[in-house]
């Protein structure tokens, strides 16, 4: 299996591996994969490199065709070329969108625990974070719609940042859930900003539904952020897309992208997207099978060795959300202990909001042997507590 190969990343200026103070650290934190990207992407990048000139770049028609074709084929989301704005990443996109559609002092709703960069993007634009905490019951997260209605009815609430699929909870929102959210936002004139960066990493039995694909009203009242970076491990190529049907909203966001100077595109990113979206389907299906097998291995290991740790069902992403609350320890204590005693780097749950207390997030997008090694490190510290 191609994903079993351990590819050395240390001393390659790798943020994930080279940020650690010691070479002994096993990093299972930041969301990138320890796998080579699809062969078609590598071939396309080699061809581009051999040209030898890397000046300012604009995306060709083939770029837009690749993006629109991918979302039509895989997600039944019909997108027009004119709706697409390109930028350097989903986080810069979120920051530009918030800048475009709010003024300082207005409020942005997030559904915690949620991707930590949502918080900084809101704060950096002078807006107030409003939390619509997800309900955690029987090991699964659900939306508190009554609370969302209350928060959205505040006249100062202007945006809902939707994480779909959800990071770190691993949920794939159902159509019914998305419709309820969308209707609440329409009633209260709250625009939905849907971060769908993990949309391709959805497992059997679940289906990602792009928020903007549900109906014309939702499409007009939303902005969708996408990138191939999680799907094909291309974060370093700094290429993402914003999908905006409403022309007025699109013009505001385009202006904000230019003000923030994130309106250009990487010449290698252009070629990577075209190759990935046109030729990457088979590789992606193999990847998803491998990732889910990693999850099944982790789940079985924890049930056998540390049954007091509850593993949240993984419907999408490669980020496993684990409930250590039975230990009575804080997320900070758990993460610090694993780093200091076992040289294992994980994310503490409170990064994603106060209701992440007692949890950690573990990245399993790596060869199985590294998953096994990481889990053994966790067992070394917490086995006696079982």
User: Measuring CA to CA, which residue among 150, 89, 154 is closest to residue 127?
Assistant: 154
CATH of 53-279, one of 3.30.420.40, 2.60.40.10, 3.30.70.1350, 3.40.640.10: 3.40.640.10
Evaluate the CA torsion angle 353, 359, 360, 364 in order and state its sign: negative
Task: Give the pLDDT confidence score for residue 1 in this predicted structure.
Answer: 77
**Helix or strand (DSSP H, E) at 97:** helix 90-101
Q: How much is the pTM?
A: 0.97
Class of domain 2-30+281-385: alpha beta
Residue ranges in the chain modelled with pLDDT below 70: 384-386
Q: Where are the domains of the chain?
A: 2-30+281-385, 53-279
Task: Give the pLDDT confidence score for residue 137 in this predicted structure.
Answer: 95
pLDDT per position as a tens digit, 345-380: 999 999 999 999 999 999 999 999 999 999 999 999
Task: Give the pLDDT confidence score for residue 386 in this predicted structure.
Answer: 44
293 burial level (CB within 10 Å; 0-12, 13-18, 19+): middle
Backbone angles phi, psi at 123, to 5 degrees: -60, -40
With contact defined as beta carbons under 8 Å apart, do 148 and 177 qualify?
Answer: no
2-30+281-385 and 53-279 have identical folds: no
Work out whether strand 310-311 and strand 26-27 pair parallel, antiparallel, or are unpaired. Answer: unpaired
Q: How many CA atoms lie within 13 A of 214 on its CB side?
A: 24
Task: Give the pLDDT confidence score for residue 383 in this predicted structure.
Answer: 77
Work out whether strand 319-323 and strand 310-311 pair parallel, antiparallel, or are unpaired. Answer: antiparallel
Task: Give the pLDDT confidence score for residue 384 in this predicted structure.
Answer: 58
């Amino acid at each position: 299996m191609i994903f079993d190969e351990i590819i050395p990343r240390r001393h390659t200026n790798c943020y994930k591996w080279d940020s650690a103070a010691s070479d002994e650290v096993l990093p299972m934190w930041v969301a990138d994969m320890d796998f080579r990207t699809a062969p078609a992407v590598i071939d396309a990048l080699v061809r581009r490199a051999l040209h030898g000139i890397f000046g300012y770049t604009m995306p060709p028609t083939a770029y837009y065709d690749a993006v629109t074709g991918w979302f039509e084929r895989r997600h039944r989301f019909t997108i027009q070329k004119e709706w697409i704005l390109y930028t350097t990443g989903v986080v810069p996109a979120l920051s530009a969108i918030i800048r475009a559609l709010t003024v300082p002092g207005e409020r942005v709703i997030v559904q915690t625990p949620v991707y930590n960069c949502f918080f900084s993007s809101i704060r950096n634009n002078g807006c107030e974070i409003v939390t619509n905490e997800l309900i955690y019951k029987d090991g699964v997260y659900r939306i508190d719609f009554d609370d969302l209605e209350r928060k959205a009815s505040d006249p100062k609430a202007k945006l809902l940042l939707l994480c779909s699929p959800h990071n770190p909870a691993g949920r794939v929102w159902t159509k019914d859930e998305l419709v309820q959210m969308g209707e609440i936002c329409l009633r209260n004139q709250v625009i939905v900003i849907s971060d769908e960066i993990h949309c391709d990493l959805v497992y059997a039995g679940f289906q990602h539904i792009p928020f903007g694909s549900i109906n014309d009203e939702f499409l007009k009242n939303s902005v969708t952020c996408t990138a191939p970076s999680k799907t094909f491990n291309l974060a370093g190529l700094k290429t993402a897309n914003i999908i905006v049907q409403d022309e007025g909203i699109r013009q505001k966001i385009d202006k904000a992208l230019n003000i923030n100077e994130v309106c250009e595109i990487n010449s290698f990113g252009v070629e990577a997207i075209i190759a990935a979206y046109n030729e990457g389907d088979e590789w992606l299906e193999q990847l998803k099978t491998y990732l889910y097998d990693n999850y099944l291995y982790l789940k079985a290991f924890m049930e056998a060795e540390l049954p007091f740790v509850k593993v949240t069902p993984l419907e999408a992403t490669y980020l496993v959300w684990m409930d250590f609350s039975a230990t009575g320890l804080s997320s900070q204590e758990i993460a610090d202990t694993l780093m200091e005693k076992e040289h294992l780097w994980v994310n503490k749950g409170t990064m994603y909001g106060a209701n992440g207390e007692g949890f950690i997030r573990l990245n399993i997008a790596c060869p199985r042997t590294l998953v096994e090694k990481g889990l053994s490190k966790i067992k070394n510290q917490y086995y006696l507590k079982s």
